[in-house]
Chain A
Amino acid sequence: MPDKEKNIMDEIAEANKSAVAGIDEKDIEHWVTISILGRKYRVPAGLTIIQAMEFAGYRFIRSCGCRAGFCGACTTVYRIEGDYRLKTAMACQTRVEDGMYLTQIPFTPALRVDYDINKLQPNLEAMLQNYPEILKCLGCNTCTKACPQDIDVMEYIATGKRGDIAQMAELSFDCIQCGLCAIRCPAELAQYNYAQLARRLHGKYQNAIPEHLRKRLKELDEKKFDKDFEKLLSANLDELRKLYKERDLEGGD
């Protein structure tokens, strides 16, 4: 029996191999040609840009972070052969295409202002005091087209210009702060930093601390649970197991 379980582990490791140990050429059936910083490489079709660059021999220091679309490290600009348009993407979330000319942008030198959130209010003034240049938006929509998260960046900038902090916060929520909007903006805005300010203003001032939380904090202050904790901490393993087993589940059976 134990052998069986060990064999299963080996089977799993074998099945997962391509995802954890780099790709073996002999397993590849379809290939594409991409250009990394102007040099052409033949890479397996179906890989993400990050995986393809690694296959080609690159080991990342910059331009690679969470590898899952959350961190904005692998900002990429590319063009497809025969097309004049520049496209943008996250390298960890985008499949390579034949004829892709790509480069990565590891850092965005965009302005971010320091502020004391406690001294601001959720209004237009807070936005303009820190980022007056927001008014320079040309309304060209380049930022929205550049956003790998499909956020309507131009629209949230418009709400910011009106001082509608709540709407700006909601519309920008999924921002991963990759900086592509700022890199492409002809008005030289740093949209994602304005959105960060808006979200904090909204979170702090337009959402009160819930009553149930206040109540619990007061109870903790009054040491309401101390006795119960003493009991739990001095209980033996059997007692703890019993208590655990007997818990009622919320909405459960």
Chain B
Amino acid sequence: MAELKFIGGYPEYMRRLIDIVNQTRPRRKDYMPKSMTMEERQEVLKLHPDFAPGGKRPISLGPNKGDIAPNEVADLLEAYPLITGDEIDLSRPDFSVDLLIIGGGLAGTTAAIWTQDNGVPKENILLVNKLRHGDSNSMMAEGGTQAADREIDSPTRHYLDALGGGHFTNKPDVLRALVEDAPFIMEWLCKLGAMIDREKDGSFVEKSGGGTSRNRMHACRDYTGMEELRVIRDEFRSREIPYLEYFPVIEFLVDENRVTGAVLYNLETGEYKVIQAKATILATGGFGRLHIRGFPTTNHYGATADGVVIAYRAGAKLRDTDTVQYHPTGAAYPQQIIGLLLTEKLRSMGAQPVNIDGEAFVFPLEPRDVEMATFIRECYVREKGIITPTGMRGVWLDTPLIDVKNGEGTIERAFPGMLRMFKRFNIDMRKDPVLVFPTLHYQNGGVETDPWGKTNLEGLWVAGEVSGGVHGKNRLMGNSTLDCMVFGRRTGLSVAEHLKSNKKFGRLTLEHLKRYVGMLSEAGIKTERKAPILLPDYRGKAVLARRIDIF
């Protein structure tokens, strides 16, 4: 077959379709499709992977028995532990600490700093990471952080926006904590030295996001999470708080209803380590790499739901396991970057979703679930999508409109990361639209908490994406980085307080594993599956077919 001819990064046939988008741009400049009614939203949501039939089942054992979860998640909950427990010597812990933090993204790193600030000596804290400290979805957050800090905005308005966005299923007291602490977190970031985008008069640049009724999205160009995390991590390192890398936790140690430590696994040598801890903060992030319903993902390499799996085995209660957040605008072309995030801020600043006929077919800032379902309808029901050379379908995101609406040079200033990513594949998003399709983005539910990150298990706190409740069944843009920092801080404060009156270590046991295996067989689950999976596997099929395990 002849090679495809490329013009400006696109094959010829796509180039011709772009001409249509270019032609309709002048009349779309001042046209905005109406936002949908509640009824219209309900109708299109039938095409959302959460609501379309299949793909989910009831969890068959444990504290959330009967709750619905995606098959990929239920598979991990209905799987055997990596260890039986008998092979682990628990009599001589390798580390004894007041606080064990699992996961060094925004939430875990923030927690460490606030725990130390509140009287826990740094030597008594240990932060463990599956990959490097900072390898996390936080690092990849582009669009912004919400905080209601302007006169015409208020924390109660932020609350209402998030509650409606979450379909009124958010846990009220936890959500209140999120929005009330938000301005405080912005101040903390300023004091640490984060470079938050500013207007000429020194006030914050604040943009709208899907589902927000006021502009309250604070950004650091399109590297918001990266800037927040690298500043917080720099502070963490300057304080010399101990941390380990390439040491995932594979099980908790449990004394009846209390988490008393964890078993770590050295990913490179295969050696285990035992930690005993008076308190544990779980901040392991989300599950994008499970590729729910076969969707590509925006998530980092380690996002495999380990935290939920080990916490559930220890007896932690989950909530809102039935919904998954797909980001409407993942890259659909070129092949090399499929699934990568194109921030919602592109639409906040004027980029329009456009179909094959060059028509704007949807209000660009519907809540994420509605927006994504509309993209699916456009591609698979109305057949107005654009088909890529690898057979994927997508819709255009008309990025050149951003410069048309805001002046030339806006894209270069506001989206340097995105511009660079496409340039690497010879696409100039200032001149040409980019192709998008929904991508798996966020684990809405997780381990249930109270406003201080406490779980139903004694000694266990959770913060960030692994937690459930604050976003209900759908998270708004700009509330995840906020969630990490608000509840990272709150868990830190809560643990520091707890440690004042709880000075004893608990018994170190893995008895819960035997219990769990018993429950598996009681539930009639026959499987070879083991969890946590720690990392996804993308190796070529031909190699795997001839692989022998002898060394």
Stretch of B21-29, B310-318, B518-526, B536-544 contacting A (4+ beta carbons < 8 Å): B536-544
Question: How far is the CB of A103 from the nearest CB of chain B, in Å?
Answer: 18
Question: How far is the CB of B414 from the nearest CB of chain A, in Å?
Answer: 12
Chain A residue numbers with a CB within 8 Å of B238 are: 114-117
| Cα A19 to Cα B547 with chains together (Å) | 22
Question: Counting CB contacts under 8 A, is B156 at the interface?
Answer: yes
Evaluate whether A8 and B192 lie within 8 angstroms (CB atoms) in the complex, with A16-B294, A212-B150, A213-B186 already known: no
Least CB separation from A252: chain B residue: B213
Question: How far is the CB of A154 from the nearest CB of chain B, in Å?
Answer: 19
Q: How many residues of A contact B (CB 8 A)?
A: 96
Evaluate whether A9 and B424 lie within 8 angstroms (CB atoms) in the complex, with A204-B193, A207-B198, A228-B154 already known: no
Q: List A residues 37-57 near B (Cβ within 8 Å).
A: 46-48, 51, 54-57
Question: Counting CB contacts under 8 A, is B369 at the interface?
Answer: no
CB of A12 within 8 A of CB of B391, answer no
Question: How far is the CB of A55 from the nearest CB of chain B, in Å?
Answer: 4
Question: Counting CB contacts under 8 A, is A137 at the interface?
Answer: no
Question: Counting CB contacts under 8 A, is A73 at the interface?
Answer: yes
Q: List B residues 24-69 near A (Cβ within 8 Å).
A: 38, 46-47, 49, 51-55
CB of B301 within 8 A of CB of A209, answer no
| Interface residue from A95, A116, A228 paired with B336 (Cβ < 8 Å) | A95
Least CB separation from B173: chain A residue: A233
CB of A9 within 8 A of CB of B49, answer yes
Chain A, residues 210-251, CB within 8 Å of chain B (1/0): the string is 111101110010000100110011000100110111011111
| Cα A29 to Cα B2 with chains together (Å) | 10
CB of B300 within 8 A of CB of A203, answer no
CB of A29 within 8 A of CB of B543, answer no
Chain A residue numbers with a CB within 8 Å of B54 are: 6, 9
Evaluate whether A12 and B135 lie within 8 angstroms (CB atoms) in the complex, with A57-B547, A61-B246 already known: no
Chain A residue numbers with a CB within 8 Å of B542 are: 25
Question: Counting CB contacts under 8 A, is B495 at the interface?
Answer: no
| Interface residue from B187, B335, B425 paired with A209 (Cβ < 8 Å) | B187
| Interface residue from B131, B161, B301, B417 paired with A69 (Cβ < 8 Å) | B417
Chain B, residues 216-247, CB within 8 Å of chain A (1/0): the string is 00001101011100110011011110000010
Q: List A residues 83-120 near B (Cβ within 8 Å).
A: 93-95, 112, 114-117
Chain B residue numbers with a CB within 8 Å of A208 are: 202
Which bracket fits the contact residues of B? 35 or more
Question: How far is the CB of A225 from the nearest CB of chain B, in Å?
Answer: 5
Chain B residue numbers with a CB within 8 Å of A56 are: 540, 543
CB of B183 within 8 A of CB of A71, answer no
Question: How far is the CB of A190 from the nearest CB of chain B, in Å?
Answer: 13
Least CB separation from A207: chain B residue: B198
Chain B residue numbers with a CB within 8 Å of A51 are: 336, 538
Chain A residue numbers with a CB within 8 Å of B186 are: 213
Question: Counting CB contacts under 8 A, is A70 at the interface?
Answer: yes
CB of A46 within 8 A of CB of B336, answer yes
Evaluate whether A244 and B160 lie within 8 angstroms (CB atoms) in the complex, with A66-B301, A173-B221, A212-B149 already known: yes
Most chain B CB inside 10 Å of its own CB: which residue of A6, A12, A237: A12
Evaluate whether A203 and B190 lie within 8 angstroms (CB atoms) in the complex, with A5-B47, A112-B237, A117-B235 already known: yes
CB of B168 within 8 A of CB of A237, answer yes
Question: Counting CB contacts under 8 A, is A22 at the interface?
Answer: yes
Question: How far is the CB of A67 from the nearest CB of chain B, in Å?
Answer: 6
Question: Counting CB contacts under 8 A, is A18 at the interface?
Answer: yes
Question: Counting CB contacts under 8 A, is A58 at the interface?
Answer: yes
Chain B residue numbers with a CB within 8 Å of A169 are: 195
CB of A60 within 8 A of CB of B301, answer yes
Evaluate whether A114 and B187 lie within 8 angstroms (CB atoms) in the complex, with A61-B267, A66-B139, A240-B163 already known: no
Chain B, residues 155-197, CB within 8 Å of chain A (1/0): the string is 1110111011000100011001000100110110011111110
Question: How far is the CB of A31 from the nearest CB of chain B, in Å?
Answer: 13
Chain A residue numbers with a CB within 8 Å of B49 are: 9
CB of B135 within 8 A of CB of A73, answer yes
CB of B135 within 8 A of CB of A66, answer yes
CB of A213 within 8 A of CB of B183, answer yes
CB of B202 within 8 A of CB of A71, answer no
Given A59-B537, A71-B300, 14 more A-B residue pairs with CB atoms under 8 Å apart are A25-B541, A55-B543, A60-B301, A66-B139, A114-B239, A203-B192, A204-B192, A207-B190, A208-B202, A212-B151, A216-B149, A217-B187, A228-B154, A245-B38
Closest 3 CB pairs of A and B: A13-B294, A200-B193, A57-B543
Interchain residue pairs with CB less than 8 A apart (13): A8-B52, A54-B538, A57-B547, A59-B535, A59-B539, A66-B300, A68-B298, A71-B226, A209-B191, A210-B198, A225-B154, A240-B164, A244-B160
